[in-house]
Amino acid sequence: MADPKHGPLLLVPIKAAIISALFFTGHCRASPGRRRLLMNSTGVVPMHMALTHLNTVVMFDQTGFGPSGYRLRRRFRGGKKCKAKGDDLTDGSCYAHSIEYDITTNSIRSLRLRSDPWCSSGSFLSNGTLIQVGGYRDGSRSIRYFQPCHHRAHCNWKQSKSSLSAQRWYATTQILPEADRAIIVGGRRAFSYEYVPKVSSRDRSHDLPFLHNTHHRENDENNLYPFLHLSSDGNLYIFANRDSILFNYRRNRVVKRFPRIPGRGARNYPSSGSSVMLPLDYEDGFRKVEVMVCGGSAPGAYEAASQGRFLKGLRTCGRMVITGKRHHWKMEKMPKPRLMCDMLILPTSQILIINGAHRGSAGWNRAADPALQPYLYRPTKAPRKRFSVLTSTRIPLMYHSTAILLPNGRVLVGGSNPNHDYTFGNVAYPTELRLQEFMPHYMDRHYHKFRASNVTVHHGGGSGIRHGEEFTVRFWLGRRSKVGVEFMAYAPPFTTHSVSMNQRMLRLRGKGMVKEVGGWVRVTVEAPQSSNLAPPGYYTLTVVNRGVPSFSHWIRFINA
């Protein structure tokens, strides 16, 4: 295998201008999307993945894997040379387990991890710093920070001197509206929640009976990596196993208990369905909040898989409005059963369901029958016309695969390693190090004539756009129609194990559209009124013209 440190891993050497040209040479005129290989090997399995506001992607797996595919020239600890022979070939300290991928140059560099982040969680703070918590063994109480910077050789992981109050393995993190803090919920044998960053040494974890009640006492548990969504009223929606609540974390009080999602089986790890909160909309004052949960595993699937029986996964999706007074699940069926999938909100407000398997459960080699075809879900269509099947991949993307939306409208897809270490042969599903991009239908050449370009944002100054502030968006449309232009703000998630933590999309109000000389358009856009709607931090702003998104522009919302 080529060494990322010393030799190119790229399919072809790509510069920014060439990337742009290649993106526009597709011949597919239909709507199922296309795929393209970006790198033959990232060297590290992107079990965890997050997009930074400097257009880099942080990826990492677990340090306990031993040798990865990214051999280091020198050890992180001590700086001693790593020889290409003898014990150094199997010495884990001679291999990286975290990388930073540069979208523009299609290149990677190694990052140093001090503790094991396997099955951990994360959120972005308002200044764009990734706060990453928990993991396995020495990492189970760790708090790590990654602050991206322009001089990327100077940016690396930093570990806090503070520690979590409880061990957090398979927990979920949600950024909060106030005080630039995040809440961490759950984890294996951790029926509680706590906050980071720590304000004082007296900070502690708080018991959450809901997690006790949703815990299976058998081996398969099924309430790990609970789904969290911040409602527009500032309360926290928590879904675990098959049940869900609305939780006032400020008062440690359950506000609502929602009906159980219909059907048997479970939705959370290791059953590993997925969830999104559908886009919030200015037209109703962002008051309607609707969550969607898709896929999962059949009852007993985890144990059955250990005996070589891979039970068919769950085919159903449920949607429920969590605001208002009446709550019930509206159920519908995907084209096929699915688990271990990623659900991403596209700039068109459609939902992409990608990666995963049709049978089994999450866990080491506990799934079979790869789900090679992504699904596109259109929330506003009639119930039986919402799903469509997209272009298949030949690469099985199973346990520990991930996907994230990029500012250019494409989806970065990587990972897959159901094995205890890096294994490339004599197994059903080898370790997968290739990095792909999936290009949704709106990237086809056919749609370029509708795409807004050269998007810029102007606001009152300072470090960002204040909540409730008006700002100006300017872009070029030429002679193209201005009817149906929308403005979408998106909070990129921290993604792992089919959970896209903190993913959030808002449709913003645009008014006073002015056509300028030469095909330019200027629009006044209103920022969300409060941090409950859009927690402070970096978002991508996308101009969507007649269903075709522009390349996104980074903006930052700050408290007024």
Determine the average pLDDT of the residues in 85-94: 88
N-term to C-term CA, the chain: 52
Between 417 and 85, the higher pLDDT residue: 417
Domains of the chain by range and CATH? 16-62+97-443 (2.130.10.80), 445-558 (2.60.40.10)
Between 464 and 203, the higher pLDDT residue: 464
Determine the average pLDDT of the residues in 479-500: 90
Planar angle of CA 306, 308, 310, nearest 5 degrees: 95
pLDDT confidence band for 225 (50 / 70 / 90): very high
| Cis amide prior to 270 (ω within 30 degrees) | yes
Look up residue 47 and give its DSSP letter. Answer: S
pLDDT (0 to 100) of residue 92: 84
Long-range CB pairs of 16-23 (<8 Å, 24+ gap) are 16/104, 16/105, 19/104, 19/106, 23/408, 23/410, 23/439, 23/443
Q: Is the pLDDT of residue 16 over 50?
A: no
pLDDT (0 to 100) of residue 349: 97
pLDDT confidence band for 448 (50 / 70 / 90): very high
**Is 171:186 a contact under the CB 8 Å cutoff?**
yes
d(CA 5, CA 72): 6
Q: Is the pLDDT of residue 25 over 60?
A: no
**Is 117:63 a contact under the CB 8 Å cutoff?**
yes
Determine the average pLDDT of the residues in 22-49: 75
Selection from 415, 421, 375 nearest residue 399 by Cα: 415
pLDDT (0 to 100) of residue 303: 95
pLDDT (0 to 100) of residue 380: 95
pLDDT confidence band for 217 (50 / 70 / 90): confident
Task: Please give the share of the chain, as a percent, with pLDDT higher than 70.
Answer: 93
Determine the average pLDDT of the residues in 395-417: 97
Look up residue 550 and give its DSSP letter. Answer: P
d(CA 218, CA 225): 17
Q: Tokens at residue 438, please?
A: 């999936």
d(CA 197, CA 376): 37
Determine the average pLDDT of the residues in 48-58: 98
Q: Is the pLDDT of residue 9 over 90?
A: no
d(CA 498, CA 342): 5
Determine the average pLDDT of the residues in 472-483: 84
Mean pLDDT in the chain? 92
d(CA 171, CA 104): 32
Selection from 450, 403, 458, 471 nearest residue 549 by Cα: 450
pLDDT (0 to 100) of residue 156: 95
pLDDT single digits (tens) 95-150: 999 999 999 999 999 999 999 999 999 999 999 999 999 999 999 999 999 999 98
| Cis amide prior to 337 (ω within 30 degrees) | no
d(CA 422, CA 400): 12
- Tracing tokens 């037209």 back to the chain, one arrives at 283
One-letter identity of residue 246? L
Kindly provide the b/e burial profile for residues 135-159, where b requires at least 16 CB atoms within 10 angstroms of the residue's own CB.
Answer: bbeebbbbbbbbbbeeeeeebbbeb
Q: Per mean pLDDT, which range of 28-32, 152-156, 398-402, 473-477 is the poorest? A: 28-32
pTM: 0.93
